Amino acid sequence: MRHLIISDIHANLAALDAVLAAAGSYDKVWHLGDLVGYGPDANEVIDRLRSLPHFSLAGNHDWAALGKLDLRYFNGDARETAIWTQNNLTPANRAYLESLRPIALEEGYTLAHGSPNNPIEEYILDPLTAELNFSIFTTQVCFVGHTHWPTAYFMAKDSDRVCLQRAAQWNTVVSLNDGRWIINPGSVGQPRDGNPDAAYGMLDLESGEWEHRRTKYPVEVTQKKMRDLNFPNRLIERLTHGH
Ligand code: ZN
């Protein structure tokens, strides 16, 4: 079984479709939350994911679109698109988002949007935060999203519990069989690591092998839709630069 692991699509259909085309064969999609928010294709992205064999978490932007988070804690641009999403989701897609949880155990893997410690709010951006989280989940591997930053945290078996951060190694197969891991595939629809290409990963459940991957997508297709909807310029521009 090969699983396509994605996160933070953020209503960017062109990016999602590019990932699906580039991924090759897979048996199932795991999505780690934030289907919507920021981008113009809220219903289209949910429809596409629902047409595939998949499991999805809810992210903080999905909760915002459902009115489950106080929008005062969002910055102005995020708030604006959250309100647009609230007003434009179909009843069926709203019900679908309502059915999602922000953390889950799937096939022996922990999946959390932000972190096992706080799946809606916490950002794992450094080894110390990762280290604290290793004591909270019990599986060997945990996948997270939320930061839009592709990376991996590794805890060796006899490491005196020191957690190391490993930069994503593109198109390189890494065995997850030794030690424990927290892995972030990066963001499909709004990368923030200085690279505008959509980020994703492939997991082979039999061999325990993982691969961080990247693919180009037609950024201008998404940007045109955002311009037509009068979305904030800063959100349109950041897709060009991937930050
Ligand atoms: Zn996000």
The superfamily CATH assigns to domain 2-241 is Metallo-dependent phosphatases (3.60.21.10)
Q: What is the pLDDT of residues 199-227, one digit of tens each?
A: 999 999 999 999 999 999 999 999 999 99
Distance of CA 204 to the CA centre of its chain: 18
Q: How far is the CA of 31 from the centre of ligand 1 (A)?
A: 12
Element (H, E) at 11: none
Around ion ligand 1, residues with a beta carbon closer than 5 Å are: 8, 34
Q: How far is the CA of 209 from the centre of ligand 1 (A)?
A: 25
Give the model's confidence band at 159: pLDDT under 50 very low, under 70 low, under 90 confident, else very high.
Answer: low
Q: How far is the CA of 36 from the centre of ligand 1 (A)?
A: 8
Q: Which two tokens stand for residue 21?
A: 């085309």
Beta strands in the chain (DSSP E): 2-6, 28-31, 54-56, 103-106, 109-112, 141-144, 151-155, 163-167, 174-175, 180-184, 198-204, 209-215
Q: How far is the CA of 160 from the centre of ligand 1 (A)?
A: 33
Domain range list for the chain: 2-241
Q: What is the pLDDT of residues 53-92, one digit of tens each?
A: 999 999 999 999 999 998 988 899 999 999 999 999 999 9
Q: Which of these, 27, 3, 29, lies nearest to 16 by C-alpha position?
A: 29
